[in-house]
Amino acid sequence: MNIATDLVKATHIGIRELKEHLSRGNLDKLLVITDRGQPVSVNLPYEDILELLDLLDELSDPETIATIKKGRAAIKAGAKGIPVSKLFKKLIKKAG
């Protein structure tokens, strides 16, 4: 899932149309709900919500935050690249 790209490409549906959509049970995809053409809400499939929650848990981990801070400091110091292998190894360990 790439939620940012999916959000841009998502079906936009008006509030009135949503009622009809709900009665058909078609809530298994990302929907941007609009009111007079302006986005007001987003409907996400359950699996996408779970994935986002997992990602938020990973990003709130103190070790992950410390690694990101070190990477940002390295960029400010002029580093040309950041070795992300340590970060990925930590994430893989936590996921496994």
pLDDT in tens, 44-79: 888 888 988 988 888 888 988 898 888 888 888 887
Q: Within the chain, how many helices (H) and strands (E) appear?
A: 5, 3
Residue 39: predicted pLDDT: 92
Question: Is 7 within 8 Å of 39 (Cβ atoms)?
Answer: no
